[in-house]
A and B are shown apart, each in its own frame.
Chain A
Amino acid sequence: MNRNSVLAAAFVGLALATGGVTSAFADPVDDKLVIDGVEMTTKTKAPEGHPFDEVLSGWLFREAETRATEADSFANPGMLAVERGAEIWNAVDGTAGKSCASCHNDAAETMKGIGANYPKWDEASKKPINIELQIDKCRTENMGAEAYKFDAPDQVALATYIKHQSLGVPVKLDLAAGDMQSWWDKGKETYYTRTGQLNFACASCHEASMGKYIRADHLSQGQANGFPTYRFNTGGMVSLHNRFRGCIRDTRAEFPKAFSDELMALEVYVTWRGTGLSVETPAVRQ
């Protein structure tokens, strides 16, 4: 009895030691994601210099019920955040007495497709800027409002709303702008650097083990095209930097601050890895 349990534990230990994944593998599903009559690109040829031949949306790695929830724009709980974001968009905030709408009018027009090109190069700060930081920039410089605290529910809702105006639009970054290329290089280095007590890099799971099962999770390519995402796990919206920090924390490493140089560089690189996939915000994941 004792010997059997020790043997079993040893097997698990070995499995975990060799990277935490068993040899169970499954192809992603062959299924079409159609939201309100618009077909999303969930599978496409990878850009030049990409380690994969094909980039795949995380949607393809989820169970049927999860996929169906994203496809139904009413049942998708992330759409509650989109509605909240619309409220914020139209609400006056700050000393200048303006709302987002005061300058940007109807988001469905002015923000259409914008989210698919973020992060962008920001000349003023000489760094890449993402949607969340762009919102803060507008608030502080144009509205006389305070920047949001990281992951403030209003920040997540507004970012979701803005990104959602790019639903279906293929992700495409401009790496030629400013110094984006060197930030891409830094992000790539982070992506492949092992970290933490578990000694995992992003690539350990999302490249080397893509398609394998880690316990019962079907490992995806770890794409960014659906963020902010509604996660069943937390029963709420999850931002990209929240997810980065969570993943890194789960390798049992210290995790970088949100919007730090390290995570901004990682966002540039990870977003690039999904070039060509449709923006799915708000995606639904486990």
Chain B
Amino acid sequence: MEDRMTLTRRRVLALTAGFAAVPALQLLSGVAHAAAEDTTKLIADFTGGKEPQSGKIKLTAPEIAENGNTVPVSVSVDSKMADGDMVQSVMLVAEGNPRPEVVTFHFTALSGAAAATTRMRLAKTQSVIALAKMADGSVYMDKKEVKVTIGGCGG
């Protein structure tokens, strides 16, 4: 009984080694995820120490990312973008990536709307965080978990 189990486990290792030999997602080779301190510091630097509130900012990301190399994400902040109701910047953070920073959008009175869409890389299943810093210094936050799948014989 034990021999058969061991044999099967060896076969599994041999077979899975085959998958490992497949050129992995770029970010998966030797990936470590962002140290929690890196993420905390990145966010603190952006917020200036202010506690992020929920509301106003909406982060849109797929539930399941077909490939971690290209994940479409959108942010939108409920703001008039006029008369003192202004968004200064929005920052995206990937807490499970080797490095947490992704992109920081800067808006102006000419932006019309505090909204942007881009495509990002996710090394593995993790939460993506969006932070909006308003002109009056207040900070809002939204967070979405994105499952990053591993393909079969992607080639």
Contacts and interface: CB of A to CB of B under 8 A. Distances in A.
Query: Do A and B have CB atoms closer than 8 angstroms in the complex?
Result: yes
Interface of A: 6-7, 9-10, 12-14, 16-17, 20, 62-66, 68-69, 197-198, 205, 213-217, 219, 232-235, 243, 246-247, 249-252, 286
A250 B149 contact: no
Contact of B9 (A6, A205, A214, A217): A6
A251 B8 CA distance: 19
Given A10-B12, A198-B15, A215-B150, A247 B62 contact: no
Contacts of B25: 233
Interface residues of B, number: 30
A72 to B, nearest CB: 11
Given A69-B72, A235-B69, A252-B18, A215 B151 contact: yes
13 contacts: A6-B6, A9-B8, A14-B8, A16-B12, A17-B15, A62-B66, A65-B62, A65-B66, A68-B72, A198-B18, A215-B152, A233-B69, A250-B155
Nearest to A17: B11
Contact of B8 (A13, A198, A219): A13
A232 B18 contact: no
Contacts of B65: 63, 65
B151 A286 contact: yes
Contacts, number: 101
A234 B25 CA distance: 8
Contacts of B70: 69, 232, 235
Nearest to A5: B9
Nearest to A214: B152
B30 interface: no
Contacts of A246: 154-155
A6 B5 contact: yes
B82 interface: no
Contacts of B8: 9-10, 13-14
Nearest to A247: B155
Nearest to A252: B18
Given A9-B12, A17-B11, A235-B69, 9 more contacts: A6-B6, A6-B9, A12-B16, A66-B66, A197-B18, A198-B18, A217-B149, A232-B66, A232-B70
